[in-house]
Amino acid sequence: MVYHSFLDDSKDKGAQRIMVSAGFYAGRGDWESFRIDWKKILNTHGLEYFKSSECDCVNGQFQHFRKSGKLYPTQKEKDKAREVRVELQSVLSHHPAIRGIGVAVQLEDYRRIGALSRSE
């Protein structure tokens, strides 16, 4: 079976201590079915894509949720964005073949091991 995966990584400020990589994997057919449901929710809310930071800050794709005209989003605007996140998260529960995976790496160890392979 061939799997397709989507991963993202993040490091602490300054990439000093830890790196985390996490994502999802599944077969092609599972992703196709998932995409249909995911896009349906995005379209319902006038979104082209979902980016967590834009949802949190109610900007980017979520900018049209800002009705107050204030510099920072109101609680009501944040709640509306969070509702979309909850809807999108629920899509995963309807596609149990899509699995999550994650790994955390201490950067000190990573650098030490990388240095060993370069010294050979």
pLDDT digits (tens, 9 = 90+) for 15-68: 788 889 999 999 999 999 999 999 999 999 999 999 999 999 999 999 999 998
Task: Out of 39-43, 81-85, 107-111, pick the least confident.
Answer: 107-111
- Spatial distance between the Cα atoms of 20 and 50, rounded to a whole number of angstroms: 20
pLDDT digits (tens, 9 = 90+) for 21-34: 999 999 999 999 99
Instruction: Please report, for the chain, the start and end positions of each structural domain, with discontinuous segments joined by +.
Output: 3-119
- Spatial distance between the Cα atoms of 118 and 22, rounded to a whole number of angstroms: 27
Predicted model pTM: 0.74
